[in-house]
Structure 1
Amino acid sequence: MASLKEVRNRIVSVSSTQQITKAMKMVSAAKLRRAQDNILRMRPYAQRLSGILTNLSSQTEGSITNIYAEKREVNNVLIIAVTSDRGLAGAFNANIVKAVVALISSKYSSQAAAGNVTVLTIGKKALDAFNKRGMPVISDYSTVFTNLSFDTVRPAAERAMDGFVAREFDQVDLIYNEFKNVATQIVRQEQFLPIEDKPVVAADAAAMLVDYTFEPSKEQIIEELIPKSLKIQVYKAVLESNASEHGARMTAMDKATENAGELIKELKLTYNRTRQAAITKEILEIVGGAEALASA
């Protein structure tokens, strides 16, 4: 059984850890509010931009004729993996790494065997994880969260787009955590390039019945909208991941605080039992000594 001093030291240590986890939970809660506001503002814009693009492409013979829509044999693959820069967020980062590994194993095993699968990492945790696995990594974009904005994320999207245009990559996939609520983050996998024609939903079909005059032409508008839409897609994924990170860390720190409280209760119970046993032992020793003196 541990001594009273050892138990006291453990109680002090766990109490200090509990204060840290409480503080981290509060910090994450404050950051989550801002991150959640950002993604809630971005979602309608991204959806509307995608809807406009879908409508225009549907009015131009129903297909997108653009270099970013070129479908070819998939020999070289790029996977954009979005994680965080820091840990202590539960399985937040591990889920992305697992999703990338599972995607490679199930869909790109032959390309991986030939060394033709590259990972573009957004977030230090992804960079560290795939460097350890010895995978080809594009690591110039692992610190975008230090100053998160469209301008800091745009180069990552442009790198993937330029690589596709130059035939360095034949397909680009995007994997990130989508923010649902504080306790739930959903791992999403999207085909980034080549872009796919999307079916027109009923809400957009009604808008297409209106006779619009386009200036410049529909085709030219599509040519300008596609690159912007692709960059917005990556930026939205990073914002989703940022909100998800703070939600996951807030949940993890809340659970850690609760666990620390339970551990402190157990340690205090152990301390009281140990102290009680020590007092009982001392009383027995005194009584035993008194009886020995009386019988002498």
Structure 2
Amino acid sequence: MDGLRPKATASAPPPAIKVSILADEILKNVEYDALRIVFNKFHSVVSFVPTVSTVLSPEIVERESESGGKLGELDPYEVEGGETKGEILQNLAEFQFSCVMFNAVLENACSEQGARMSAMDSSSRNVGDMLDRLTLTYNRTHQASITTELIEIISGASALEG
């Protein structure tokens, strides 16, 4: 997917449609019970937290809801439209995976921009410090050369008088 190469993401995250297409390709070509997406969650400009987000397959969700597990709350809801519970869960799982992937891409982009801002701030501060040190060195050297010239002038004047 050309929109998700590092070069392309360096300036801006890919649009939701590209992430959605990639998510569809993954779901078509991968059989899974649970998908785990690892990404950097933006915490602040100077920090991010490595995060793992899990998306369960529709089959696992359906099995869990039928066995009365944590997902058993799905049963009381009736959905109109003629779709079976399995089809609804399939659609929701695909949508959830696409949303989680897009969230991961955005969080990574925010973390990257925060790291860039922090690096540029640090570089600017370091350049300012270096400029101050170089200015001080230049001024000391300039002052030493002026002092040397004055000493030579005074020595020459003393030699002429004496």
TM-score normalised by length of structure 2: 0.72
Check conservation: 1:176, 1:237, Cα contact below 8 A.
yes
Paired-residue identity, %: 32
- How many residue pairs align between the two structures? 153
- C-alpha offsets along residues 212-232 of structure 1, whole Å, 9 cap, x if unaligned? 324433222111111111111
After superposition, residues 164-183 of structure 1 pair within 5 angstroms as 164-165=30-31, 174-183=37-46
- Would you identify which runs of 4 or more consecutive aligned residues in structure 1 move more than 6 Å? 192-196
**Other-structure match for 1:186:** 49
Q: Give the alignment partner of residue 120 of structure 2, picking from 242, 253, 260.
A: 253
Let me know the Cα RMSD of the aligned residues. 3.8
**Other-structure match for 2:157:** 290
Q: Give the alignment partner of residue 133 of structure 2, picking from 259, 266, 273.
A: 266
Check conservation: 1:164, 1:193, Cα contact below 8 A.
no
In structure 1, distance between residues paired with 2:37 and 2:77? 34
Secondary structure of 1:211 counterpart = coil
- C-alpha offsets along residues 94-136 of structure 1, whole Å, 9 cap, x if unaligned? xxxxxxxxxxxxxxxxxxxxxxxxxx993425xxxxxxxxxxx
In structure 2, distance between residues paired with 1:270 and 1:245? 37
Check conservation: 1:177, 1:241, Cα contact below 8 A.
yes
Following superposition, the deviation at residue 195 of structure 1 comes to: 8.4
**Other-structure match for 1:220:** 87
- C-alpha offsets along residues 3-38 of structure 1, whole Å, 9 cap, x if unaligned? xxxxxxxxxxxxxxxxxxxxxxxxxxxxxxxxxxxx
Q: Specify which structure has the bigger relative contact order, considering alpha-carbon pairs within 8 angstroms and separated by 6 or more residues.
A: 1
Secondary structure of 1:234 counterpart = helix
Following superposition, the deviation at residue 284 of structure 1 comes to: 1.4
Check conservation: 1:144, 1:153, Cα contact below 8 A.
no
Flag the 1:209–1:188 CA change in 2: closer, same or farther, 3 A: closer
Q: Give the alignment partner of residue 19 of structure 2, picking from 143, 153, 158.
A: 153
**Other-structure match for 1:74:** none
Amino acid across the alignment from 2:16: F
5+ residue gaps, structure 1, are 1-119, 126-141
In structure 2, distance between residues paired with 1:145 and 1:179? 17
5+ residue gaps, structure 2, are none
